[in-house]
Chains A and B, each alone.
Chain A
Amino acid sequence: MIFKEEQMGLKRNVGLIEGLRYQGKGPMLTYILHRISGLAMVIFVALHILASFISNQAWGSSAGIFINTIYEYWIFQIFIFFCALFHVINGLRIVILDLWPKLIEHQREAIWLEWLVFLPIYALAVFVIINGALGG
């Protein structure tokens, strides 16, 4: 059922170069950031689970501990928390607008509201992380 070619959506009416030249402003930025942050979380969470797995075994390898040390590093935490928080808040906007399609008319206001929620929470978290890293 999941492998029928007519269900795969194989037609593309925009090429890669045209796609890169597209300037979609606010909504485009959230779309790009949503994809990048999602992919980053998939990669890092998968590596983190695998690292915990191999360092927990009886034949325990130091490679796992080495990878998990990177995750505790403060610069990495600033980056991964950006991914998680942005993905969570933008995801909530997408869920609300998709499940109540009438609200899509207020998409631009929703994006402004989204940044208004995101910025103070992220700023507070970055302050706490840097404060902790400097021995606060």
Chain B
Amino acid sequence: MKSRTVSLTKRGFDFETFMWLFTRLSALAMYLCAFIGLVGALIMGARTQMNMADLIRWTFMPSSTHVLLNTSNQILQPDVWMTTFWKVMGSIFITFATSHGLHGLLSVLEDYNTIPWLRRTLRILVLVLTLAMIAIGIYVLWTS
């Protein structure tokens, strides 16, 4: 199998191409967020012997409610972890994850649907849903 590529000027830079690139770049951004979360959890959880489930949960989404209080380990107080830095990191992660995920939902829906008016409606619906989920997610993160 030989690889073939089409130059950007020949292909044109439309909505689809933009979202194709955005999906890849937001994935890379989320890798960076997860890496920072993993390193942060390893540093902060080192003294308290954080367990693997909490470590994984913090890696994928840094939120104090994701670190469950272990009754045998009273030193671990998740609220202390919830600094502004982690709230900002969580907000960035929510923004990328929601827009990446809901655009994925839209592209799956459009693979099985060729009715123009329904596609327009779904695009608007997914856009509204994305903005709403980002707003709700960030609200929950900063108030919980």
Contact = CB atoms under 8 A, between A and B. Distances in A.
A16 B113 CA distance: 11
Interface string A52-93: 110010000000000000001000010001001000100110
Contacts of B28: 95
Interface residues of B, number: 39
Interface in B96-137: 97, 101-102, 104-105, 108, 110, 112, 114, 116, 119-120, 123, 133, 136-137
State the main secondary structure of chain B at its contact with A. helix
Contact of A125 (B1, B14, B52): B52
Contact of B104 (A42, A49, A52): A42
Interface in B1-55: 1-3, 5, 14-16, 24, 27-28, 31, 34, 51-53
Contacts of A72: 68
Given A38-B101, A42-B101, A104 B133 contact: no
A52 B53 contact: no
A39 B103 CA distance: 11
A56 B53 contact: no
A72 B34 CA distance: 21
Contact of B31 (A8, A39, A92): A92
A53 B15 contact: no
